[in-house]
Structure 1
Amino acid sequence: MLSIAGTDPTGGAGIQADLKTIAAFGGYGMAVVTALVAQNTLGVRSVNVPPAAFLRDQLDAVGDDVQIDAIKIGMLHSEPLIAVVDAWLAQRSGDVVVLDPVMVATSGDRLLDAAAEDAVRALCRRADLVTPNLPELAVLVDEPVATSWDTAVDQARRLAAASGAAVLVKGGHLAGDACPDAIVTASGVVAQLDGARVASTNTHGTGCSLSSAMATLRADGWDWADALARAKVWLAGAIAAGAALEVGRGNGPIDHLHELRPRLAGPPAAPRPAGWTETAWTDAAPVRAAVDACALVDGLRTGDLDRRVFAWYLGQDALYLGEYARVLARASALAPRPEEQVFWAEAAASAIAVEAELHRSHAGESEPDAAATTLAYTDHLHAASVRGSYGELAAALLPCFWLYADLGDRFAEANHDAHPYRDWLATYADPAFAASTRRAIELVERAAAEASPTERERMGVAFARSMAHELAFFEAPVHAQAADADARGGRARGLA
């Protein structure tokens, strides 16, 4: 895999981001430098461009010696450099070429003069896939920036018709919470993936990284539609995990190695076996990213969470766990094999005994009323239990293992003696809980393998709904405290 792009000394964008992305997807990365950029997470300070002849020397040195499976092109800076890359590609054949046209700064300022813009339009004809953001797409078709998804798709179709390349149109610059992406050709939309916007400031280098992911997956035999689905899941997770890197004071980088990091640190707390469970976990990536980004989870990681919010959360969790234990006991009764019956029964006992002490230490002995989100979640689990399908019930229970083990594993580094919520973090980072999670995943995977197609479909719905309930459960405490503060303020104003 060859990246042709500029540098980023902070490692979040440009060639450095490309090489990390290529490695994350199992490729061997190579790099040809077009510009030496002095930048950080706060912005660009200066650019030093080597002579065009040296760029050609770099390209020839790689191309004369190494078989290249795919080429990703990023920042080209000026018309002479674009001409060199165009001429070099013209002498080659069979390469997968992905062009990320770096033409417009985050501020909206154009980075290229008119001659260079025309050269980039011509270079699109050398590409198999072009990945502009919406301002760059507007420049390529010489139109105003699209403010609606339909307009963006129409502009991408016109660019595809003019260049012969497929276009990855990205909705990240549109207003609203939705963040769709699509592969568009001259014939129209080939594949469209909807998604929720990940609330994060760690977006430095996302365009570079996505285009490199697409190139690497294509070189590995994926078609564009499947590559987009895989890359989108990876990117959402990388954005959500980026804050934990704590790099820079501006728009920080994404975590390119977030999927590998648990394995690099040691045995994973919750392995992701191939099959039904892997698909369900991958499909839930937007929800998992939203969980990571929510105020309660981030506050638990940093230790900055308001204790009143945490106490409210634990009070609801105590109510939840009582019902959860009953549903686990029901799973034990439905399980087809003795060892599975034992596992679910022991999990029911653990839900009552192990967690009870944690709740008493923070929330006291008070018994609050169940919140709407708590009732909705437990009602969902009870509904799954009474339908009599073991696979469906096991799938509904799995997120309460897997999501917490995943958080416990990734937040383990925050678990130090001075952390105010150290015992909560330790509970879910505990090796025994990790082992239980692995076993739960294995049992659900086995249930899916033995289930009918109809039951597997119900399992998927049950798992997805539990993940959505988990997100609502994490978001509820902050919302409840905000509502309570508003109510107190209203009473104070009334007394005044």
Structure 2
Amino acid sequence: MSPLSSTFLPSPAPADSVRAVLRTIPRVLAIAGSDPSGGAGIQADLKSIAANGGYGMAVVTALTAQNTQGVRAVHVPPASFLAEQLDAISDDIVVDAVKIGMLGDADVIGVVRSWLTKVRPGVVVLDPVMVATSGDRLLQESAEAALRALLPLADLLTPNLAELAMLLEEPLAKNWDAALEQGRRLAAVTGATVLVKGGHLDGGECPDALVSASPGFEAEVVVVPGDRVPTRNSHGTGCSLSSALATAQARLGSWEEALREVKPWLRGALEESEILEVGRGAGPVHHFHHFQANTARELAGQPAGQSGKDFMEELRESADHHLSSIYRLEFIRGLVEGSLPEEQFAYYLSQDAIYLNGYSRVLARASAMAPTEEEQLFWARSAQQCLEVESELHRSWLSTRPVQSGLGPVTKSYVDHLLASSLAGSYGVLVAAALPCFWLYAEVGATLHTEFQATGAPAGHAYADWLRTYADEEFAAATRQAIKFTERAARAGSEAERQAMVAAFGQSSRYEVEFFDAPRLHA
């Protein structure tokens, strides 16, 4: 038994507890310390909430004297005044989501615990701030037990790896598998979902995972892969992520959807951080990179989101990034080399069959919405071919291979995204969302077939027949048609619609990467 099991006893929610109704603009309260340099704490929270579509409110738990190089001093105001702040908010305003950050001492934690028990906000994200990125301690050691007792009141916990180890009183995880195991243990003893973050691990990858002991989750662990952004400007990343997740969850109602939406935003905030030129140490991330980039382009006389390029060139560059990620995956390398375990390939095929069934419905919807007879016929034929391929997969592969898998979490998320795009009322958004399954798949297929042929197609290669199908010229021609119709829809649409098309295409492209990686995670 964990030494913390007696501490992590969940407090029962009041019988009349009411969860938040999803809102277009959620009202999000940040309870955290102040960072006068603006990169972390309550300042970062408010920027993140606004950047992710929420209305931000703030209750300050502590004042710090800090900058990008470190924390110099911490002052914790009287806990009684904190209680006045919290009551003033909840007496007047419905709080849809709460993000809790730095708490400082046991008295402060006690006030927050009492308020949460009384108000029961719909979404509670707790970032157990104990140690700053600079290494400075931000929570008194005497308050650690009080913090542990607070954790079961949260829906989502977002510790960094050092904090995760401290909460469990265990050594720091040295690799991703060890971090996930610690996440499982913390989820089990608190009843909360735990976000395990890979940002402090070595290597080029930077995955995040939602770990839950809740039976309502599709999977115990949902991993969202990502690449590390080479920058020193990571000040306030944890604060920004947790407050953004609270906001997105209040809009979307799903932790997985929230993470898949927020992670690309945070990546962009890190990539564009150099523009800010703030401080001589670890600078802040650029919370509003996606807004200010469009503003700069408009001032330069360019359409927002196009950077002086045409629409399809922008999509092409976006696709290149995702293609690079796909080519680095173990699944892809094992497929070309013939070393991929058969159970992983069978899982991939089973998920592909499920996906194609949903994808065919989306293409049928595109046919119904298409503005020309040529496009109607193309999308209708494509929908029919999806069903034919699905039937062939079951007949020739899956019927002879036992596959112990139902609908996988990535497959579900991808199909849900496509179905949501089909209901958005925009033909352009729908075809942009559908395009990566043509475009990225065709690019990957052509590259893999070329690599396979270059090896001399060695005898006994387990996937030789499958790889030869990638050279299908009919699919390449269909891809060119899909690209043409997407470009035509972009020209006919408004600037707002083109931006929505870029977003839909980008989300589908990310799902394409995760779909290829899902067999490894399932294994």
TM-score range, shorter chain: 0.5 to 0.7
1:222 corresponds to 2:258:
no
Aligned residue among 194, 205, 226 for 1:178: 205
Q: Give the partner amino acid of 1:155.
A: Q
Mark the runs of 5 or more structure 2 residues left unpaired by the alignment: 1-27, 326-373, 376-446, 452-469, 514-523
Q: Give the partner amino acid of 2:175.
A: S
Counterparts of 1:156-175 in structure 2, within 5 Å, are 156-175=183-202
- The alpha carbon displacement at 1:90 in A equals 1.3
Aligned residue among 31, 46, 57 for 2:58: 31
Q: Is the 8 A contact 1:135 1:145 kept in 2?
A: yes
1:392 corresponds to 2:479:
yes
User: Which structure is larger by alpha-carbon Rg, 1 or 2?
Assistant: 1
- The alpha carbon displacement at 1:436 in A equals 12
Aligned residue among 39, 59, 62 for 1:12: 39
Between 155-164 and 104-113, the greater mean CA deviation after superposition? 104-113
Are the structure 2 counterparts of residues 68 and 177 from structure 1 closer, same or farther at C-alpha, using a change threshold of 3 Å? same
Q: Deviations over 1:414-455 (max 9, x none)?
A: xxxxxxxxxxxxxxxxxxxx989999x97xx79x99xxxxxx
TM-score (norm 1): 0.58
Aligned residue among 169, 179, 186 for 1:142: 169
- The alpha carbon displacement at 1:263 in A equals 3.8
Q: Give the partner amino acid of 2:249.
A: R
Aligned residue among 231, 248, 266 for 1:235: 266
Counterparts of 1:45-444 in structure 2, within 5 Å, are 45-108=72-135, 110-186=137-213, 189-265=220-296, 266=298, 267-270=303-306, 389-390=476-477, 392-393=479-480
Q: Is the 8 A contact 2:211 2:222 kept in 1?
A: yes
Distance 2:240 2:474 in 1: 45
Q: Is the 8 A contact 1:10 1:41 kept in 2?
A: yes
- The alpha carbon displacement at 1:200 in A equals 1.0
Q: Secondary structure at the match of 1:6?
A: strand
Q: Is the 8 A contact 1:158 1:186 kept in 2?
A: no
Distance 1:213 1:165 in 2: 18
- The alpha carbon displacement at 1:285 in A equals 6.7
How many correspondences in the alignment? 328
Distance 1:283 1:180 in 2: 20
Distance 2:319 2:261 in 1: 10
Distance 1:288 1:251 in 2: 28
Q: Give the partner amino acid of 1:173.
A: H
Distance 1:460 1:107 in 2: 35
Q: Secondary structure at the match of 2:289?
A: coil
Q: Secondary structure at the match of 1:198?
A: coil
Distance 2:316 2:98 in 1: 32
- The alpha carbon displacement at 1:162 in A equals 1.2
Q: Is the 8 A contact 1:195 1:286 kept in 2?
A: no
Q: Secondary structure at the match of 1:147?
A: coil
Are the structure 2 counterparts of residues 269 and 166 from structure 1 closer, same or farther at C-alpha, using a change threshold of 3 Å? closer
Distance 2:288 2:129 in 1: 24
Distance 2:156 2:319 in 1: 25
Distance 2:104 2:56 in 1: 22
Q: Is the 8 A contact 1:269 1:438 kept in 2?
A: no
TM-score (norm 2): 0.55
Q: Secondary structure at the match of 1:202?
A: coil
Q: Is the 8 A contact 1:79 1:119 kept in 2?
A: yes
Distance 2:261 2:154 in 1: 21
Pairwise CA RMSD of aligned residues?
A: 4.2
Distance 2:316 2:103 in 1: 40
Distance 2:168 2:183 in 1: 8
- The alpha carbon displacement at 1:392 in A equals 2.2
Q: Give the partner amino acid of 1:254.
A: V
- The alpha carbon displacement at 1:106 in A equals 2.5
Are the structure 2 counterparts of residues 49 and 194 from structure 1 closer, same or farther at C-alpha, using a change threshold of 3 Å? same
Q: Secondary structure at the match of 1:12?
A: coil
Q: Deviations over 1:10-42 (max 9, x none)?
A: 211111111111111111000000111121111
Q: Give the partner amino acid of 1:209.
A: S
Are the structure 2 counterparts of residues 278 and 52 from structure 1 closer, same or farther at C-alpha, using a change threshold of 3 Å? farther
